[in-house]
Amino acid sequence: MATNARAAICRGNSEPFAIEDVELAELRPDELRVKIIACGVCHTDMAVRDQQLPVPMPVVLGHEGAGIVEEVGSDVTSAKVGDRVVMSFNSCGHCPSCDIDAPTYCYNFFPENWSGGRPDGSATLLQKGEKMNANFFGQSSFATHAIAHDRNVVKVPDSAKDLPLERLAPIGCGLMTGAGAVLNSMKVRKGLPIAVVGVGTVGMAAIMAAKIAGADPIIAVDMNDSRLELAKELGATHAFNAKDDAMGQIKELVPQGLGYAFDTTGINKVIEDLFGLLAPMGIVGMVGASDPSHMLKFNEAEFMGGGRRVMGILGGDSDLKHFLPKLIEYHLNGQFPFDKLIGYFPFEEINEAIESSENGTVVKPVLRIAEEA
């Protein structure tokens, strides 16, 4: 039996998101139906709206959903009916990357997450009986209900039973990307200096994780002074405004060079400058969305001679089933206070939530979609 739901439909950037009636398809054996309690808003949703990513439209976006499982297919093992879950990106489970628990580099990432339906082309969502593009990041959580998959659902651990789902919703995207880049990808070492350029959700998560790792100093760079203040609250030991020769200030502070430089801007000049500030064996980690035509230039002798590394990082190399519970534990211990980034909006105010992210007033907007009973 199809399930009726309400979903925010994106028809591009010439019109606002509109909340309309839709129907969910029947579950396949590896799928779950989740009643969505809350969903974070991410820049990737806006990139799709602006048609910078090849996702078919119109579409139901939203990929930071948290909710309660209402129904499970016969093969599902990750959660059962009534469980509280968070959702993240989907992966195929049978490619060379998934084989080594590196699902962010799934060979089938596009069909699993961005094709508008299941990899076989079938619809997870319909409107008036016609296919509606959905299954975005294996969920499409800007909706009252979503179909998710065994591989992209993580049950909230019992230790976090008192944490509201609306707070946990955003854990499966920018937060895990920034924290994972520091803890999993670059494996930041205690006592080494790190610079984080761009302190949106990803950069702030990187700063909190750098503090967990014991990096020192932890340098935040951004153009927004109030964000730099917040970065300091979350663990940055120094904060430089990019307008005030931040690269020069880093050089002065850390003359021996940076152990780690983490770029969230995707601007090639910034990445090249950061490369020039690396100590021997230093790593530049890159997560920023960049212009697809851009090329990077760096000195071959410095690259090879000092064993320096330039590292492209997707999703913080997160193996969801292990890493998301670990981040939740850090939060419970007070070491990952990401709630300081969140601003809440009712579902009906999805367009205002998006606006708040774009004008920089809220770091991480989260939509409240239903009350948690």
Q: Could you list the residues that contact ligand CXF (CB under 6 A)? A: 42, 44, 89, 104, 173, 177, 314-315
DSSP state, residue 281: E
Closer residue to ligand CXF, CB minimum distance, 67 or 288 = 288
CB nearer to ligand CXF: pick between 44 and 144: 44
Between 137 and 336, name the residue whose CB sits nearer to ligand CXF.
137
Nearest distance from C-beta of residue 176 to ligand CXF, angstroms: 7
d(CA 131, CA 334): 44
Instruction: Work out which of 9, 24, 42, 287 binds Zn ion, going by CB under 5 A.
Output: 42
Q: Are 231 and 204 in contact (CB under 8 A)?
A: yes
Cβ atoms within 10 Å, residue 203: 29
177 binds, among Zn ion, ligand CXF, none (CB under 5 to 8 A by kind): ligand CXF
Q: Which two tokens stand for residue 228?
A: 């730099």
In whole angstroms, the minimum distance from the beta carbon of 129 to ligand CXF comes to 31
- Beta strands (DSSP E) in the chain are 3-10, 18-24, 31-40, 59-60, 65-72, 84-87, 125-127, 130-131, 145-149, 153-155, 194-197, 218-222, 238-241, 258-263, 278-286, 309-312, 342-346, 364-368
By beta-carbon distance, which residue lies closest to ligand CXF?
Answer: 315
Q: Which one of 39-47, 103-111, 188-196, 266-274 is the stretch in contact with Zn ion (CB under 5 A)?
A: 39-47
Place of tokens 């001679």: 305
215 binds, among ligand CXF, Zn ion, none (CB under 5 to 8 A by kind): none
Minimum distance of Zn ion from residue 63's CB (angstroms) = 5
DSSP class of residue 198? Answer: -
> Rule CB under 5 A: which of 162-191 touch Zn ion?
173
How many C-alpha atoms does 144 have within 13 Å on its Cβ side? Answer: 13
d(C-alpha 127, C-alpha 125), whole Å:
7
44 binds Zn ion (CB under 5 A): yes
Beta strands in 116-183 (DSSP E): 125-127, 130-131, 145-149, 153-155
159, containing H or E segment: none
**Distance (Å, rounded) from C-alpha 81 to C-alpha 68?**
8
- Residue 142 vs 240, nearer CB to ligand CXF: 142
Q: How far is the CB of 181 from ligand CXF (least distance, A)?
A: 11
Q: CB-wise, 171 or 208, nearer to ligand CXF?
A: 171
Write out the two tokens for 265: 């801007």
**Whose Cβ is closer to ligand CXF: residue 286's or residue 314's?**
314
Q: How far is the CB of 214 from ligand CXF (least distance, A)?
A: 26
Q: Which is nearer to ligand CXF, 56 or 305 (CB)?
A: 56
**Residue 315 contacts which entry, Zn ion, ligand CXF, none (Cβ below 5-8 A, type-dependent):** ligand CXF
Provide the minimum distance between the beta carbon of 106 and ligand CXF in the complex, in angstroms, as a whole number.
9
Using CB positions, name the residue nearest to Zn ion.
42
User: Which residue's entry shows tokens 């200030």?
Assistant: 249
CB of 344 to ligand CXF, least distance (A): 20
Which residue bears the tokens 């990803």? Answer: 202
